[in-house]
Amino acid sequence: MEFCGLFAGNGGIPAIPLLHKELWLMIKEKVREAINAQINAELYSSYLYLSMSAYCESINLRGFANWMKVQAQEELVHAAKFFAYVNTRGGRVLLREIAGPPTEWKSPLDAFKHVLEHEIKVTGLINDLVKLAVNENDPATQTFLQWFVNEQVEEEESANDAIQKLKLAGETGPGLFMIDRELATRVFVMPPAGGAGAAAPNAPAP
């Protein structure tokens, strides 16, 4: 048993010992490890979208670049929600190396196809976390994850929406300019604080 600052001077009266976190750990190890991996996945997502934003800037599509940058900000919030949840449950967050993202895409359409493909992958990761929480008999984590289940539906929808618009309007000329202007209007909206159990989804992306 480990104690921090055990019986620190208090006029001879024994103080309440500060217990090491392991003593009140409320999250199972398997769940904690899986959420730590998810924090890494969310940070990678942010890195990926920031890289896409840089690519869009490089081809003078400022609206596309803005959309990707807002997406990158949202991913940081996702990581922060998981981070806070592990701490709330008495677990230890361990940050790992974040892989380098790609830096080039063939076109804006190619980039958005990659966004959709990536979000489908993240949905799979979230679904795996839900399955794990069910198997580990952890209803608090199941409730916490519900926000992310809803969020993934929106994330896939907004990426698919951009793909369909690009296909309809074309990837060059006035059509592309029109979509760029629309994507420039997207603003980052901080989702409700906490996250654990919060059912309200983020404001929809343009």
What are the beta bridge partners of residue 3?
19
Minimum gap (Å) between residue 92 Cβ and ligand FEO? 22
Assess 195 for contact with ligand FEO (CB under 6 A): no
Q: How many other CB atoms are there within 10 angstroms of residue 153's CB atom?
A: 12
Close Cβ partners of 120 (under 8 Å, ≥ 6 residues apart): 156
Minimum gap (Å) between residue 151 Cβ and ligand FEO? 7
Q: Residue number with the shortest CB distance to ligand FEO? A: 78
In angstroms, the CA 34 to CA 82 distance is 10
Q: Which residues between 72 and 131 bind ligand FEO (CB under 6 A)?
A: 75, 78, 119, 122
**Spatial CA neighbour of 151 closest among 100, 97, 191, 93:** 191
DSSP 137: T
Minimum gap (Å) between residue 150 Cβ and ligand FEO? 11
Minimum gap (Å) between residue 78 Cβ and ligand FEO? 4
Nearer to ligand FEO by C-beta: 114 or 176? 114
Assess 45 for contact with ligand FEO (CB under 6 A): yes
Nearer to ligand FEO by C-beta: 54 or 120? 120
Q: Which of 27, 42, 112, 129 binds ligand FEO (CB under 6 A)?
A: 42
Q: Do residues 172 and 148 touch, judged by C-beta distance below 8 A? A: no
Assess 138 for contact with ligand FEO (CB under 6 A): no
**Spatial CA neighbour of 73 closest among 114, 32, 43, 113:** 43
Assess 180 for contact with ligand FEO (CB under 6 A): no
Burial class of residue 200, CB neighbours in 10 A (0-12, 13-18, 19+): exposed
Instruction: Count residues near ligand FEO (CB under 6 A).
Output: 7
Residues that bind ligand FEO (CB under 6 A): 42, 45, 75, 78, 119, 122, 155
